[in-house]
Amino acid sequence: MERGLAQAIEEFIRDKAARSGGREYSRPPLVGFSDAGDPMYDEVVRIVGPPNRHPREIMPSARGIVSFFVPFRKEVVDSNRGPGPVSETWLSSYLAVNEAINDISRSLASLLASQGLEASAAPATHDFDLETLKAGWSHRSAALVAGLGRFGLNRMLITRLGCAGRYGTVFTSAVLPRGSRPSEEPCRFRRDGGCRACLKACPVSSLGADGFDRFKCHGRLQANKELFADHTPSGDVCGKCVVAGPCAYREI
C-alpha cells in the first residue's frame, strides 16, 4: 500500500511537471518522502526557530510528507553566473517554476483528497516573517529529512542533480515510506575546505563559513526587485550563491 501510493505520487508529480508552464526551464523532478513524526523535524524547529513550525502544527493529521525538487536546466544556471544583477533568464525560471510547483502541489493535494485522504500543500515561496525573514516552513529541510540531499556551505540542499532549482511540499494523512539519507558529503567545502565559490559569488558578502546574514541577502533581493519592477509576481530574486560552484548542476 505505502509503496504503491508512493509510486503513484512520484509518477503524478513527474507527469504534471512535464506538462507545466515551467518545463522549458527545468528538468524532471526528484521526489522523496518522510514521516511527520521523524525526530529530525523537532531538530529543524529547534535550529531554525520561530516562526518555523513542525509538520503537525501545520496539519495535525499529517503522517506522510511529500518533498520534491525541480532542478533547473544548465542554460538557466549558466545565465546567472558572474557579476551583476540577477539574469532575466534566472528570474523568469524562478517565477515560472514556483508557479508550476504551486500548481503541482495543489493538484496532488486534491488528488489525495479525492481518495479519502487529508492533504495540504505548502506555498512554494514568500511564506516568511518580515521581521525575522524566516519561513514558517522550510521546503529544503523537509527534503533533507526525505533524503533528497545534504546542505552545502551556501545553505542550499545539494541533491544528486545539484542545488539549483525549487522545492515543493505536500502534507498528507497517508503513511508513506521513509527515504534513505545519503551519507556522502556533496559539498566540497564541507569535505575538505576546498571550495568557497558560493561565498565569493555573493554580491553583498552575506554568506560566511560560520553564518548567514539574511538581512544583507534580503537587501540584495529588494535591489533586484527594483531593477525588474515590471515582473509580476515579485522579482526579489538573486541566486548568485546557488549557481557559483560545481554543486549547482549535476547529471545522473
Region at 49 (left for phi over 0; alpha for psi -120 to 50; beta for the rest): left
- 67's CB contacts (< 8 A; 6+ apart) are 31, 32, 33, 34, 139, 142, 143, 145, 146, 148, 167, 168, 169
CA dihedral 141, 170, 12, 76 (to 10 degrees): -50
- What digits encode the pLDDT tens for the residues 60-93? 999 999 999 999 999 999 999 999 999 999 999 9
Report angle CA 211, 215, 219 to the nearest 5 degrees.
Answer: 130
Residue 71 pLDDT: 98
Mean pLDDT over the full length of the chain = 93
Q: Where are the alpha helices (DSSP H) in the chain?
A: 2-18, 39-48, 55-58, 74-79, 88-114, 139-145, 188-192, 197-201, 214-227, 240-243
User: What separation in angstroms does the CA of 85 have from each of 33, 34, 82, 114, 160?
Assistant: 36, 37, 9, 44, 28
Residue 1 pLDDT: 55
Question: Average pLDDT of 212-239?
Answer: 87
User: Could you give the CA distance from residue 239 to residue 77 in angstroms, rounded to a whole number?
Assistant: 9
User: Could you give the CA distance from residue 1 to residue 13 in angstroms, rounded to a whole number?
Assistant: 18
Report angle CA 179, 183, 189 to the nearest 5 degrees.
Answer: 125
Percent of the chain with pLDDT over 90: 83
- What digits encode the pLDDT tens for the residues 130-172? 788 888 899 999 999 999 999 999 999 999 999 999 999 999 9
- What digits encode the pLDDT tens for the residues 170-192? 999 999 999 899 999 999 999 99
Residue 235 pLDDT: 76
> Which of 131, 121, 137 lies closest to 214 in space, CA to CA?
131
Residue 49 pLDDT: 85
70 backbone dihedrals φ, ψ, rounded to 5°:
-105, 105
Predicted confidence band of residue 98 (pLDDT cuts 50, 70, 90)? very high
User: Could you give the CA distance from residue 85 to residue 237 in angstroms, rounded to a whole number?
Assistant: 9
- pTM greater than 0.85: yes
Distance of CA 221 to the CA centre of its chain: 17
Question: Average pLDDT of 86-113?
Answer: 96
User: Could you give the CA distance from residue 26 to residue 68 in angstroms, rounded to a whole number?
Assistant: 13
Residue 232 pLDDT: 61
